[in-house]
Amino acid sequence: MSASGTSRTGAESAVGERLRRMREARGLSLSALARAAGIGKATLSGLEHGTRNPTLETLYAVAGALGVPLTALVLKPGDPPAAAADVRGAAVTATLLEVFEEPGATFELFWMRVRPGVAQRSPAHARGVTEHITVYGGTLRAGPEDAPRTAGAGEHVTFPADVPHVYEAAGPDEVVANLLIRSPR
């Protein structure tokens, strides 16, 4: 059982192990990475030990601080995208569909649902990361916190994700979209 009273899952343990290896490979202490990611040291320790359920916001904060794409934490190298567990945040649930590797960048394609009634704030990702969202249903408000854009079904939003940004259903309906994240190497 974890500190939250839920059973530790294989996915949480695997994410924690990958996270610990990346932190140690960079010579970072728990305290240093927690500070860089803007999260508590106890939270980071819980993630590494698989006793904390990682939220989308926390995973992005840690991935940004490490300078790696989200999939580096949630997907074992060589595993197909379907092996990654869905990641959930305050408003967003994201399902990894595919990872594309090119010499200069990694592209992560997600199926994304945004629940109405709550905004999700995402910390800045690594420098140069951009997000490209195509909306299939509902109305989405997304982008940098100081200048989000609105897109309805059939529309597209692109923004720099290396600044704090937000996702929010702009109406009463759940938003259904694809999210493509481009992370330069």
pLDDT per position in the chain (185 positions), as tens?
233 333 345 666 788 888 899 899 999 998 999 998 888 899 899 988 888 877 888 888 888 888 888 888 888 888 888 888 788 889 999 999 999 999 999 999 999 999 999 999 988 888 899 999 999 999 999 999 999 999 999 999 999 999 999 999 999 999 999 999 999 98
pTM: 0.80
CA distance 175 to 8: 30
- Residue 27, pLDDT score: 92
Q: Virtual CA dihedral for 155, 80, 130, 106, nearest 10 degrees? A: -140
